[in-house]
Structure 1
Amino acid sequence: MTMVDEATVRDGQRLRLHVRGAVQGVGFRPYVYGLARRYRLGGFVANDPHGVVIEVEGARASDFVTALPLEKPPLARIDEISVQPITAVASEEFCIRASEQGRVSTRIVADAATCPECLGELFDPASRFHLYPFISCTHCGPRYTITEQLPYDRAATAMKRFAMCDSCAAEYADPNSRRFHAEAIACPQCGPRLSHPVGEIAAAIAVGKIVAIKGLGGYQLICDARDEEAVKRLRQRKQRDQKPFAVMVGSIDAVAEIAAADAAELALLQTVQRPIVLMTSRYRLAPAIAPELSRVGIMLPLMPLHHLIFDALNSGHPRAGNSWAIVTTSANLSGEPLLTDNDQATRRLAGIADLIVTHDRDIVIRADDSVVSVVAGRTQFIRRARGYVPEPVRLARSVPSILAVGGTLKSTVTATRGSEAFVSQHIGDLDTAEGVRFFEEAVHHLLSTLDVEPVVVAHDLHPNIASTRFAEASRRTLVAIQHHHAHAASVMAEHRVEGPVLALVLDGFGYGGDAGNWGGELLLCVRARFQRLGHLAPLKMPGGDRAACEPWRMAASVLHGLQRGDEIPRRFAAQPQAARLSALLDQRDVPKTTSAGRLFDAAAGLLRISLVQSYEGEVAMKLEARVRQPRVARDGWVIEDGVLSLSPLLERLASDALDPADGAELFHGTFAAACVDWIARTARQTGIMTVALSGGCFVNAILSAEIERGCLAAGLAPLLPRQVPPNDGGLSLGQAWIAALQLIEHQDREGTT
């Protein structure tokens, strides 16, 4: 928005403009330069700690102000333009000045896929950038992952070590060039270099080898996605037993060969963010890509090197009848963060990759590929990282500076500055030393880039996880936030509502306010507070945390609760502990859970879809993959005193005669209908019609769509996560919002005493 009294803006006077938003590193200064020259204005433009400062003077200054937001560069995001008349000075040529230093309140934009203009030059034999894998301009290329600090200038990026050659320096200084002040400008004469030629990379892929390449946010492992043996070797070497791999294809036309995509999914694929998009698989890839799943993650080439690899594969190794498709996955051992350092990659990937391709441009901050899906026509994040970070979430009000450190799985951190919340890239699980180091690195980079000093650190209520320990060691004021309250608050924060709202949180595990194992919760949320109105009926967890890895244990718990414990040894005869489990379940001290995730596990175990899982959410994804059309058993649930029990449904799923696919459809349809009934009853009792829907189970596209549809049909107003994932990747945003509101309330009370 433009903040100016137009009556005070007169042609011929000098105006000072401050532009805030994502306006550094996107060609905004050269854009302003060209616009000022068009209107024959004097003055200057410069980056400053708050964004961009502009002074213009001349007969058409008011026309400049009107045009400024209308013709901005494609990657620019303008949040605010303020305009102030100032004293005129002697007429001068318009110029770009050096950046002003000071406390930073601007932001950098995310990395962007190669633009069409650069792609044309990449394959133009007459271009000096012909076949150069690091071509970029002000409209595309690396930003966030090469930036050390703001304001965004070459000296503050990983490009500072590469002195521009005469040709690049001339383009950098030429206002008519697309690379005018493009900080990542480079060419074969002066820029970064690959360690291996592209032809060698393509040849290795074509014969079934595994190749590691240094990408924008970290190393990637690639191989032929149609070669089952190559994919199996990658699984074995990477120690990734079942978790699905993403696949990259060379063009949008190639998508139809391997997936049934709708228009929204195809459009999402082609955005500059280049996320991995989940689509219905046509099962024409190696079966080991996504074992027993109905969807496959697909992405298009992101950086020039990807385009060059596909060009080399198609020209040097043509494939009759099928386009090339390559596995594209993070180069790390399972459970560890992305590798970015050349020496570490060479050493640690030696036993995984047959060829390791490095280059000499540093990755300042690692960022994995983002993963999204389209649910009921809306984009839903599963993993928010490269391409979207560090775009902030706009809050309903300006808040104190808060650092929120998330949970322990799918970790992110959030820092607030003014009315913006900056959620970090996906960090991952904090159960390894490398994961914790990455977490600490992400915290430092976020705070230093934003130039903020948090007054409070918000953390999960769980006392014994790495993020809580980090918060306690920070020596700052701490605020502990209950896990599922934070899930609900993340939705409230991005939708800019303070309540009251009902919140349905369907999740795997969260430390409860009573120190119990929560995960299927119905909450009432008002500003910084919540009340637990209801929960799923508790289930025993024989073996404690082992039950989360062995769904057969949750199925056995259901059988025991149905007074059918004598069936456990027969139904789960392949499990060594099955014969003893019924006696264990008879004990009074067996831990219990209200987790919706464990309910999914129990259903999958009863239907014999999966008895053990090798990665979080595996059995829930395999259960979802069996669904063709969800169906509702109207007598499948009971609600008493706010407790939702699915026992009638689970008893039907326990039938030996029930087909697993039929059972999966019955489970999804009935669970969704039961949740809608639960919410609707509570809405009638409370008069609250707005419902926040969050938690890891809402990654399930069928459950999410069915509950949203059911809420709308019941006259409710459902709010779902759109800017952050519903899983623990959104947890830190909710923590930050609650902590900020608590601090504001405290300050208000102090101010009135």
Structure 2
Amino acid sequence: MPGKAIRIRGLVQGVGFRPMIWRLARQHRLGGEVWNDGQGVMVHAFGSAENLAAFIRQIPLHIPPLARLDSLDVQTLAGLPAPDSFRIAASQDGGAQTPIAADAATCSDCLAEIADPDNRRYRYPFTHCTHCGPRLSIIRAMPYDRCHTSMADFVMCWHCQQEYQDPNDRRFHAQANCCPDCGPALWLEDKHGQRLAGTDPLSLAAELIRQGHILAIKGVGGFHLACNAADAAAVSRLRAAKRRDAKPFALMAKHIGMVSRYAQVNAQEACLLHDKAAPIILLNAHGATLAPSVAPDDDKLGFMLPYTPLHTLLMQDLAAPIVLTSGNLSDEPTCTDNTQARVNLTAIADYLLLHDRAIVNRLDDSVLRVMAGKARVLRRARGYSPEVLALPPGFGDANAILAMGAELKNSFCLLSNGTAIVSQHIGDLENAAVQQEYRHLLEDYGKLYGFKPRVIAVDRHPGYLSTQYGYALTDTYGATVIPVQHHHAHLAACLAEQGVALDAPPVLAALFDGLGLGDDGGLWGGEFLLGDYRQYTRLGHLQPMALPGGSQAMREPWRNAYAHLLHYFTWPYLQQTYGELEIIRLLASKPLETLATMVSKQLNSPLSSSCGRWFDAYAALLGLHSGQISYEGQAAIALEKLATPPFADEQAYPAAWVIAEDNGMAVLSCQGLCQAVLDDLKRGADKARIAARIHHSLADVTVRVLCQLSTQTGVDRIVLSGGVFQNRLLLEAVTGQLHKHGKTVLSPQAYPLNDGGLALGQAVVAAAQGISPET
């Protein structure tokens, strides 16, 4: 009897795909077998032609919840004996090319089990099945079998083994299947390592949180630090001990009703909170208030819902949200093992809630914000990584490219066989421990995917540690290095995510961020480009301003304010006309003569067109974190907060900008804006109204320049990207106005607008340079 060989590629391992195939084959009275290998799932099926055809048609209609079908190829099998039954065969090695599933939030069936007193998994914190639970966080090698995960340490009991072997059970071939009799165990101990007595550590942990204690909790991808978010003393103590001065803390609520007590939640945001990825969603604070130091100087709250049985059971006994922030000292990698937590976190936490399942791959919580009507990933990690992106038409032959990412918010990218895998968020490589983890993850991903690069794409900035390490790896792999300009990578990442074909016409782009090394050796960051994957032309930029003190200007916004004022006015004029203003009084206390000399002679004062530093300058003019910021973007976030309702619909300042031409390039100068802001401050205008007008002035000139360039080039498709466009007011204002002008706007969604998405862009630029354009 003839049969069919069916090759299935996609996200098909560890998600219940083989059991689904088994059930379909049995329903259609087929013989044969199904197995995992390095390319995905392979099926050999035998039966009547009619039954085989019906079986193949049904496969795409019965995809398990966590699976994704990329391709299904069918060939005829001849000359093989037809088996009487259908079975699931052992996995085969084969190059480890298949995608790995992302960790997924607890499914409704598992939630029902842990809530049922008659179920043997009642209140068991490690309950999961093929439709939910840990994946990347526990995997050591492919294919996805129990022996290749941290669950290999736990031998299934008789009951779990029966579920595993029962094709009618949703745990059929669930590789991480376990229960209280055979799976990981949970316990609570104090900071001295003494275990606390009691049969239910989760109930006791909830009670300790209610009492005002700080707990270190071992989760699915790393440790968290938790406390009662309504307890001002506990939150302040956590902030001080963690050495996190002002950056907002993430929150977990029991359910959507609890979230809505403290924040505005629309239908789209509610859907995202309940998504299988279970990310943190940035929401507008509204209603009841939490401890002031949860999110000081911010009008947004970052909420997530419980995504493991452990978190669900913990939150059941709590009447208020909890702070659930990364288990680390500020800027260091999150702790992932018990010994490390006992060393690093006992100076912060009073108690530790631990378990004995190893975390193989660290995963931070992902962060999203709805802007311009679409969900935007700001930090991409748990729940999303390492999902595969199928690259647009033209990239099918792109292969063996490693992109090293940026210096800050680092992630890297593996490009193989026309697909891209972007790693989870790693962090800022300025931290030595983060650097070490970056190197380990690069090695681990190489082993997981059997990946050896022939090309290594790096940022053009030679000082970036990711760039330096990329060059260092050339000896290891014999690979070629391709430097990629920072803003070109931002543009290309957006094109790749949005499915724009390799040989599509070029697009216009406004790329606003902190900085990136430009073609002229300068520091760019407020750029207007015309480009595609292969090349770009700089058509305009913000007026370059000095950064007095170099990197110090990134931490002290007053320096940027001074550079702007010095560029447009004399200091005697400023003192005489605006001497009573807070910013002028602050600047008068600084060594201005020295700074003026530094700027005039370009001594440690490089010029930069950075839009990020532009926002810092105007925040400082309004007295927002003028002296120093404690985290990247703090001053700009404060300016956005100040500008939001009731003044979000304010008008731009008239004559705020001059668009000059310099060698055919549009240069945006904002002396009129600077003067108008100073005048408004002098007459005592509402600072919120001023902040709104600053935002709309930048939005208006951005749209004006893009429309002019669109007329000149005939290009109507426009990319908006770069970390500055995480500013919701700016993104929505520019997007809305461009739509009114009939332009098509592309901006990142699944990958970050900030440097977390840069590696994807580096990879596709490098690939495009190796693919000849069609003739």
8 A contact 1:557–1:585 mirrored in 2: no
Corresponding residue of 1:320: none
Tell me how far 1:585 sits from its aligned partner.
6.1
Which of the residues 88, 93, 97 maps onto 1:96?
88
Which of the residues 542, 545, 564 maps onto 2:551?
545
Corresponding residue of 2:399: 400
Tell me how far 1:400 sits from its aligned partner.
2.0
Corresponding residue of 2:31: 42
- Structure 2, unaligned stretches of length 5 or more? 189-200
8 A contact 2:222–2:362 mirrored in 1: yes
- State whether structure 2 residue 50 is matched by structure 1 residue 83: no
| SS, match of residue 418 in structure 2 | strand
Q: Counterparts of 1:185-200 in structure 2 under 5 Å?
A: 185-196=177-188, 197-200=201-204
Write out per-residue CA displacement over residues 527-575 of structure 1, whole angstroms, 9 at most, x where no aligned residue: 3111111110111222221111111111122222231424478644456
Corresponding residue of 1:554: 560
Tell me how far 1:586 sits from its aligned partner.
5.8
Letter in 2 for 1:605: A
Tell me how far 1:128 sits from its aligned partner.
1.1
Corresponding residue of 1:17: 6
Q: Which moved more, 1:573-582 or 1:70-79?
A: 573-582
Which of the residues 574, 586, 590 maps onto 1:577?
590
Change (3 A) 1:608 1:686: same
Tell me how far 1:458 sits from its aligned partner.
0.6
Tell me how far 1:652 sits from its aligned partner.
1.4
| SS, match of residue 559 in structure 1 | helix
- State whether structure 2 residue 266 is matched by structure 1 residue 262: yes
- State whether structure 2 residue 749 is matched by structure 1 residue 722: yes
Q: Which moved more, 1:548-557 or 1:576-585?
A: 576-585
Letter in 2 for 1:436: Q
Distance 2:591 2:185 in 1: 58
Which of the residues 501, 524, 528 maps onto 2:530?
524
Q: Which moved more, 1:654-663 or 1:474-483?
A: 654-663
Which of the residues 36, 44, 53 maps onto 1:55?
44
Q: Which moved more, 1:360-369 or 1:192-201?
A: 192-201
Corresponding residue of 1:318: none
Change (3 A) 1:474 1:299: same
Q: Counterparts of 1:350-749 in structure 2 under 5 Å?
A: 350-396=346-392, 397-398=395-396, 399-475=398-474, 476-497=479-500, 498=502, 499-566=505-572, 567=574, 571-572=582-583, 573-574=585-586, 576-577=589-590, 579-580=592-593, 583-584=596-597, 587-589=600-602, 590-611=605-626, 612-626=628-642, 627-628=644-645, 629-630=648-649, 631-641=651-661, 642-655=666-679, 656=681, 657-745=684-772
Corresponding residue of 2:192: none
Q: Counterparts of 1:39-438 in structure 2 under 5 Å?
A: 39-59=28-48, 60-87=51-78, 89-196=81-188, 197-282=201-286, 284-313=289-318, 323-396=319-392, 397-398=395-396, 399-438=398-437
Letter in 1 for 2:342: T
| SS, match of residue 70 in structure 1 | helix
Tell me how far 1:713 sits from its aligned partner.
1.5
8 A contact 2:399–2:416 mirrored in 1: yes
| SS, match of residue 5 in structure 2 | strand
Corresponding residue of 2:196: none
8 A contact 1:609–1:660 mirrored in 2: no
Distance 1:255 1:583 in 2: 50
Distance 2:470 2:592 in 1: 44
Identity score, percent: 43
Tell me how far 1:173 sits from its aligned partner.
0.8
Letter in 2 for 1:430: L
Tell me how far 1:13 sits from its aligned partner.
4.1
Letter in 2 for 1:577: K
Write out per-residue CA displacement over residues 370-413 of structure 1, whole angstroms, 9 at most, x where no aligned residue: 00011122110110110001112221222121000111000010
8 A contact 1:517–1:592 mirrored in 2: yes
Tell me how far 1:521 sits from its aligned partner.
0.7
Distance 1:51 1:231 in 2: 47
Distance 1:526 1:117 in 2: 47
Distance 1:581 1:93 in 2: 85
Write out per-residue CA displacement over residues 414-435 of structure 1, whole angstroms, 9 at most, x where no aligned residue: 0011111101100010011101
Write out per-residue CA displacement over residues 416-464 of structure 1, whole angstroms, 9 at most, x where no aligned residue: 1111110110001001110101111221222222222110111111111
| SS, match of residue 260 in structure 1 | coil
Q: Which moved more, 1:651-660 or 1:526-535?
A: 651-660
Write out per-residue CA displacement over residues 446-484 of structure 1, whole angstroms, 9 at most, x where no aligned residue: 222222211011111111121011111102311111111
Tell me how far 1:617 sits from its aligned partner.
0.6
Q: Which moved more, 1:261-270 or 1:523-532?
A: 523-532
Write out per-residue CA displacement over residues 584-606 of structure 1, whole angstroms, 9 at most, x where no aligned residue: 46623132110000110011011
Q: Which moved more, 1:53-62 or 1:419-428?
A: 53-62
| SS, match of residue 654 in structure 1 | helix
What is the CA RMSD across the aligned residues, in angstroms?
1.7
Distance 1:371 1:585 in 2: 40
Q: Which moved more, 1:149-158 or 1:573-582?
A: 573-582
Letter in 1 for 2:620: G
Letter in 2 for 1:665: A
Tell me how far 1:204 sits from its aligned partner.
1.3
8 A contact 1:560–1:585 mirrored in 2: no
8 A contact 1:46–1:100 mirrored in 2: yes
Letter in 2 for 1:290: A
Write out per-residue CA displacement over residues 692-737 of structure 1, whole angstroms, 9 at most, x where no aligned residue: 1111011111111111112211222111112200100011000000
- Structure 1, unaligned stretches of length 5 or more? 1-11, 314-322
| SS, match of residue 362 in structure 1 | coil
8 A contact 2:506–2:530 mirrored in 1: yes
8 A contact 2:533–2:764 mirrored in 1: no
8 A contact 2:492–2:532 mirrored in 1: no
Tell me how far 1:580 sits from its aligned partner.
4.1
Letter in 2 for 1:300: L
8 A contact 1:380–1:722 mirrored in 2: yes
| SS, match of residue 379 in structure 1 | strand
TM-score (norm 1): 0.94
Tell me how far 1:91 sits from its aligned partner.
3.6
Write out per-residue CA displacement over residues 73-114 of structure 1, whole angstroms, 9 at most, x where no aligned residue: 111100111111212523421100001111122111100001
Distance 1:145 1:290 in 2: 29
Tell me how far 1:578 sits from its aligned partner.
5.2
Aligned length: 728
Tell me how far 1:265 sits from its aligned partner.
0.5
Write out per-residue CA displacement over residues 272-326 of structure 1, whole angstroms, 9 at most, x where no aligned residue: 000000111025111111111111111000111101111233xxxxxxxxx4200
